[in-house]
């Protein structure tokens, strides 16, 4: 590939890590990706080390954007034009109450 980025010295590395920077890991990631094995090597690795292969799949899945928690994507469609003013106000109050309850619950995933 191209020229490698300059390595961080000890102080720069400590500052980057304390700031939760991803920069210190990019050089290593570039090296790993450049040295990726072929399909046959991965199949041999999976046969000889199924536990490590499983860990590798999980790591690559997270890097690809998959996560261990359940993501729910939902939407509610309601034809507001058919509701009376009273029904609309009731729905608004219900929705505001549900929102307050959901705000009070602690977040359980990172």
User: How many beta carbons lie within 10 A of that of residue 43, not counting itself?
Assistant: 12
pLDDT tens, the chain, 110 aa long = 556 666 777 788 778 777 777 776 777 777 778 888 888 998 999 999 999 999 988 888 887 777 777 666 666 677 778 888 898 899 889 888 888 877 776 655 54
Note the pLDDT of residue 46: 92
Would the pTM of this model clear 0.85, i.e. be above it?
no
pLDDT for position 62: 82
Cα gap 63→56, rounded to integer Å:
11
pLDDT of amino acid 10: 78
Please state, as a whole number, how many other Cβ atoms lie within 10 Å of the Cβ of residue 94.
Answer: 10
């Amino acid at each position: 590939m191209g020229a490698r980025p300059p390595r961080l010295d000890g102080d720069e590395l400590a500052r980057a890590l304390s700031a939760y920077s991803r920069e210190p890991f990019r050089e290593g990631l570039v090296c790993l990706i450049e040295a990726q094995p072929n399909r046959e090597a991965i199949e041999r690795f999976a046969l000889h080390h199924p536990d490590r292969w499983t860990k590798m799949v999980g790591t690559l899945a997270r890097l690809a954007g998959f996560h261990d928690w359940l993501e729910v994507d939902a939407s509610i469609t309601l034809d507001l034009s058919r509701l009376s003013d009273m029904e609309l106000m009731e729905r608004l109050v219900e929705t505001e109450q549900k929102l307050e309850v959901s705000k009070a619950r602690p977040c359980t995933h990172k």
